Structure 1
Amino acid sequence: MEITKKEVEELIELEEENTFSKHLKNVINRDFRKKGKISTNEIKYWKQGFWNKTIYPVFTFEFNNENHLINISDQINPIGKILNIIIFLPYSILFLIPIINDFEILKNWRFILIFVVILALSIILIKGVYKFEKQNQLEYIIEFLDLEILDKKRGKEWTLIKILTRIFTYPICIGLIILAISSLFPDGEIKLGLISITIAGAYLFTDLNILLRKKTTGNNV
């Protein structure tokens, strides 16, 4: 069934520009209305998530000359992009300062290893949070527009690469939690221990939520 531009326009409650300032206002005011920007051959659509208020997607609906939907793509909103930088920059500086002041690899091997692992998990976590929010909103879009889309998403969660990634990251997360409880806290590394537990726990929670979803969909039309 062909989906028309008019049908997609009905998703939008309030039309406004897809700019940094508009998304910033959206986040500050916790405005959960469905918003978008309508152009000649495309429509931008976004909605702030209830539990994830910053890392939400902006969907782009593309249309042919007959105003029939031909593609749906997505990207993180401008605030989400800036937030990633704000999170990672101070975090990296916080960890690197002690190493720069007294850079002895053998002496600081545990500190360096934990930093690298937590940084990698943080990147994976943010991607997972974005993916989870995108999937939630995509399911609403599919139901609203009655799109006939093949259910491919669950299969994609169990590709060889993702299985190997989980075989690698799950033990690391559990190891970080055990390390924090058994070593970092007793040694007085409270801040490092809390960061380790927070990042590892958040990653496991987010990824397991994605895997345990009852309903999954794809995003091709």
Structure 2
Amino acid sequence: MEVTKKDVEKLIELRKENTFLNHLWNVLSRDFRPKGEIGRKEIKVWRQNMWNATFYPIFTFEFNANNHLINISDKLNPVGKTFIGIFSLGFLYLIFPESFSDFDFIGNWPFITFIAVSITLVVLVALMIYKFEKKNQLEQILELLDVEVKEKKPEKEWSVKNILIRLFLYPFSIFVISICVWSLFEHGIKSIFMTLFGIGICGLYLYSDVKMILKSKKTTGNNGYGSSPP
């Protein structure tokens, strides 16, 4: 069955331009309605969830000359990218003193390495949240568009790989939350954004992973693009 441009347009409840300011307002207002931008040869669709208001995907649907769907791609929304960038810069701000020329890189290499690894891992956690959200939304979209997909054998939640990942990321997430709280008391208001972001990222990961574990194999009902979440 061919998916047409009209079919994809039905996913959109509110038409909006794909701009940074619109996505920022989307995050701040927590408007969960499906939104999108309709162009001549492509349609961009996005929607945030109650538990993930920042790291949601933007899906781009591309069409041929007959307005038949030929490709679906995705990317992280610009506000999510900006949050990751600001968080990374905030960590670096805490590392270096006001006089950059006086900083002893050699003497502080263990601390620099620790911060670099921490930033990398937090970014990876953010990307894991994004991929989890993308997977769920894409499944909902394909179901609404009545697109047949080859069923994949679901990965076991308690496979050796997943157990090892959780044994590492759970303590790390708790550690980052502790560091963020300590940083707030140690550095005051100048670390407030980094604190909130770090706690938010790690908290979202823990929540989403537990949610994924508890999620039933067969989902009933539809909280997808056709209706607003409760």
Q: TM-score of the superposition, structure 1-length normalised?
A: 0.71
Distance 2:172 2:48 in 1: 34
Matches within 5 A, 1:22-33: 22-33=22-33
Task: Name 1:90's counterpart in structure 2.
Answer: 90
Helix, strand or coil for the counterpart of 1:65? coil
Conservation of the 8 A alpha-carbon contact between 1:58 and 1:74:
yes
Distance 1:108-1:61 versus aligned 2 partners, 3 A rule: closer
**Which residue among 171, 183, 193 is the counterpart of 1:191?**
183
Residue 142 (structure 1) shift: 1.8
Identical columns (%): 42
Q: What's the offset of the Cα at 1:25?
A: 1.8
Q: Does 1:2 align with 2:36?
A: no
Q: Deviation of residue 28 (structure 1)?
A: 2.0
- Deviations for 1:42-65, whole angstroms, at most 9, x for unmatched residues? 111011221111111110011122
AA at the equivalent of 2:43: I
Please give the residue correspondences for 1:123-134 in structure 2 after superposition, counting only pairs within 5 Å. Answer: 123-134=123-134
- The within-5 A match list for 1:91-170 is 91-97=91-97, 103=104, 105=106, 109=110, 111-152=111-152, 154=154, 163=161, 167=164, 170=167
CA distance in 1, matches of 2:15, 2:57: 16
Which letter maps to 1:2?
E
TM-score (norm 2): 0.69
Q: Distance in 2 between matches of 1:141 and 1:83?
A: 26
**How far apart are residue 107 of structure 1 and its match?**
6.6
The 1-side partners of 2:144 and 2:173 are apart by 42
User: Retained in 1: the 8 A contact 2:52–2:204?
Assistant: no
- Cα pair 1:2 1:68 within 8 Å, conserved: yes
Q: Which residue of 2 aligns with 1:219?
A: none
Return the letter of the residue paired with 1:22.
Answer: N
Return the alpha-carbon distance in structure 2 between the equivalents of residues 28 and 203 of structure 1.
17
Does residue 18 (structure 1) correspond to residue 18 (structure 2)? The answer is: yes
- Deviation at residue 215 of structure 1 after TM alignment: 5.2
Instruction: Give unmatched runs, 5+ long, in structure 2.
Output: 185-194, 219-230
Secondary structure (helix, strand or coil) at the match of 1:59 reads: strand
CA RMSD of aligned residues (A): 4.1
* 3-state secondary structure, aligned to 1:141: helix
What CA distance in whole angstroms lies between the structure 2 residues aligned with 1:17 and 1:180?
35
Distance in 1 (CA, whole Å) between partners of 2:39 and 2:183 is 48
Contact preservation (8 Å) 1:44, 1:59: yes
CA distances 1:116-172 after superposition (whole Å, capped 9, x unpaired):
3311211111101111221222122122112111234846x99xxxx4x98478447
Tell me how far apart the structure 2 counterparts of residues 30 and 143 of structure 1 sit (CA, whole Å): 25
Aligned counterparts of 1:200 and 1:29: Cα–Cα separation in 2: 19
How far the C-alpha of 1:4 sits from its partner, in A, is 1.4
| CA apart distance, 1:75 | 0.6
Q: How far is 1:199 from its partner?
A: 9.0
Amino acid at match of 1:103: D
**C-alpha distance in structure 2 between counterparts of 1:20 and 1:171, whole Å:** 34
C-alpha spacing 1:167/1:203, structure 2 compared with 1 (3 Å): farther
Q: In the alignment, is the contact (CA less than 8 A) between 1:14 and 1:33 conserved in 2?
A: yes
Kindly provide the CA deviation profile for residues 26-81 of structure 1, in whole angstroms up to 9, marking residues without a partner as x: 22222111111111211110112211111111100111222211111101111112
Distance 1:179 1:36 in 2: 35
Amino acid at match of 1:36: G
Q: What is the total number of aligned residue pairs between the two structures?
A: 205
Please give the secondary structure, in 2, of the residue aligned with 1:67: coil
Q: 1:19 to 1:171 in 2, by over 3 A?
A: closer
State the match for 2:191 in structure 1: none
